[in-house]
Amino acid sequence: MPVFKAPFNGYSVKFSPFYENRVAVATAQNFGILGNGRLHVLDLSPDPGLPISELVAYDTADGVYDVAWSESHDSLLVAAVADGSVKLYDLALPPTANPIRSFHEHTREVHSADYNPVRRDSFLTSSWDDTIKLWTMDRPTSVRTFKEHVYCVYSSVWNPRHGDIFASASGDCTVRIWDVREPGSTMILPAHEFEILACDWNKYDDCIIATASVDKSIKVWDVRNHRLPITVLNGHGYAVRRIKFSPHVRNLMVSCSYDMTVCMWDFMVEDALVSRYDHHTEFAVGVDMSVLVEGLMASTGWDELVYVWQHGTDPRAP
């Protein structure tokens, strides 16, 4: 299956919600510690034997930690940047006209971006400044800042059914559920005893959420009764960096870890680990599943490689 070699370390990969052959990749130089960044937009060939082609690349003065596609415009991308900025790019415009916007409100690194799939007019960013910010395309400043976490917010994710509800995962060992119509968070979930690096909502049951932690585990929760998790998934050897529920199968999710592997899980069965992919040779930090093509997966890592493959096949197979 195709592979793309980036000049910098991979941080995040996201499939386009409009074009089944398109992915965006966020990268950062020197493992994101110091140096430049680059945002790549890649097109897959219809022939799996042919290489991935780069449609465009945007250079940034600092590392790019995450990227999110607009849900309303097929050419728009949001980038989360290490200098605290949030940048908007439009593929329909020449590279010299980009970024079309650069928001400077976060006071530390921006670690994640997530576009609202229900309203399709707004997006969230999470930062190491302990805050989450809500933005719309038509405003030059953020709509609102959510500040309750007492340590870095690594991820914030919209609920797939309710356009006002999102969850945030933090290094303060909690996940918080928010309703943008309410003044504060509506639920605090002390999900792990160590930092929580990611969370995601189930795409078929809007009350189920998964959390991933430095403690090497993934936990699945029902927010209606969150005293105990539905299940705990153990199998990664180091911190779990990112998790994503399948857009096509209710019980499936994918994760990536500092143990350099990507894992597929079925959280409703006892032997939950469906498959383990060990194609990366450095930390695996970005993973996604295509909404448009069932079973199509992508991952990236600090080995500067981006893999795209069909679940059940070898990502490294030619």
Q: Give me the pLDDT at residue 318, please.
A: 78
Q: Give me the pLDDT at residue 46, please.
A: 87
- Whether residue 317 is contained in a domain is answered as no
Which has the closest alpha carbon to 297: 270, 262, 265, 266? Answer: 262
pLDDT at 99 over 90: yes
Q: Whole-number mean pLDDT of the chain?
A: 97
Beta partners for residue 127, in sequence order: 110
- Whether residue 57 is contained in a domain is answered as yes
In this prediction, residues 215-225 reach a mean pLDDT of 97
Q: pLDDT tens digit string along 108-157?
A: 999 999 999 999 999 999 999 999 999 999 999 999 999 999 999 999 99
Dihedral of alpha carbons 312, 250, 241, 286, sign: positive
Q: Give me the pLDDT at residue 317, please.
A: 87
Q: pLDDT tens digit string along 70-89?
A: 999 999 999 999 999 999 99
Q: Give me the pLDDT at residue 40, please.
A: 98
Reading the block at residue 70, the tokens are: 């607009």
Least confident residue range of 27-36, 90-99, 190-199, 229-238:
27-36
pLDDT at 24 over 90: yes
CATH code for the domain in which residue 216 is found: 2.130.10.10
CA distance 153 to 128: 6
Q: Give me the pLDDT at residue 2, please.
A: 84
Count of residues making up the chain:
318
- Whether residue 315 is contained in a domain is answered as no
Residue % of the chain over a pLDDT of 90: 95
Q: Give me the pLDDT at residue 64, please.
A: 98
- Whether residue 318 is contained in a domain is answered as no
In this prediction, residues 206-234 reach a mean pLDDT of 97
Q: Give me the pLDDT at residue 228, please.
A: 97
Residue % of the chain over a pLDDT of 70: 100
- Whether residue 251 is contained in a domain is answered as yes
Q: Give me the pLDDT at residue 47, please.
A: 84
pLDDT at 1 over 80: no
- Whether residue 316 is contained in a domain is answered as no
CA distance 25 to 38: 8
E strand or H helix at 59: strand 53-60
Structurally, the chain folds into a number of domains equal to: 1
- Whether residue 26 is contained in a domain is answered as yes
E strand or H helix at 263: strand 262-266
Q: Is the peptide bond before 99 cis (omega within 30 degrees of 0)?
A: yes
- Whether residue 15 is contained in a domain is answered as yes
Residues 172 and 211 sit within 8 Å (Cβ to Cβ): no
Three-state secondary structure call for residue 30: helix
Three-state secondary structure call for residue 29: helix
Q: Give me the pLDDT at residue 287, please.
A: 98
Residues 185 and 178 sit within 8 Å (Cβ to Cβ): yes
Q: pLDDT tens digit string along 161-213?
A: 999 999 999 999 999 999 999 999 999 999 999 999 999 999 999 999 999 99
Instruction: Give the residue numbers spanning the domain of 240.
Output: 3-310
Confidence of residue 33 (pLDDT cuts 50, 70, 90): confident
pTM: 0.97
